Structure 1
Amino acid sequence: MSRTLAPFAFLAAASLFAGSATAQETTSYSLEKTADGYVRMNNKTGEMSICHEKLGQLVCKVAAEERTLYEEDIADLKARVAKLEDTVAGIGKLPPVVRDNLPSDEDFEKGLSYMEKFMRRFMGLAKELDGENKDAPSNPAVPQKT
């Protein structure tokens, strides 16, 4: 009796397996709900799409496209960072033409001394003018200009 049932059991299992394979072939996509929307998978190719509901319709974008855009953005940012790093590294290195034409410490101190004298005289003149304005009688009809 067990020998006669074995072929039937095998046929039943095979038909169940074939039935599930047929169901997968007829269903092209699987849809899973996520926190942000849905993930749609093509059962034949395995391609994934990210879907969102907009105005009562399901709008899907292929995840590979988003990944490509993401990788392109990263490549662009890496190139920009490399360019900035080269620029920053180049700032520390003055070309010989500029480096050789910089003033000596003595010349720099001399120039700074001239600027200091200029500023002291200028501030002295400003104080004198301010003192003259305080001593002059104030005329309300003439606005003060400073």
Structure 2
Amino acid sequence: MTRFAILTASVLALPIAAAAYAQEPGSSRYTLERTENGFVRLDTRTGEMSICTEKTGQLVCRLAADERRAFEESLSDLSARVEALEKRLDLVAPTEQDPGIPDEAELDRALNAMEKMMRRFFEMVEELEKEFEDKPKIPLEPIPDRT
């Protein structure tokens, strides 16, 4: 009987809770437990806890520092960060249209350019060899010993 009277008093002190409680007559959405300083009210649906004190014949409840709420807030922050990172990866990652692997035409162009460059390089080497063969060889004198 005492719990019912306390629960009724807390519902009268909190209009939001009263509206929720009135929607479900006979339900036990809130439970109250006596403590040294007043009461602790537990919302059985959400798990939120409130600390209630009696002032001028009414129960006044304020939200307690609830670990569950802090956990849910940090979880939602982390979820937002993961979503942002996934969006960044989607921008950087190759799509199905552009998988990052060149097609045959691109490979042919690249190989043709490399072949052309190599041919020119070897032609330059052959020209230099001919120039050195045509010049008279200068005999190299030994370097004098300076000791």
Q: TM-score, normalised by structure 2?
A: 0.36
Q: Which has the higher contact order (CA 8 A, sep 6+)?
A: 2
TM-score (norm 1): 0.36
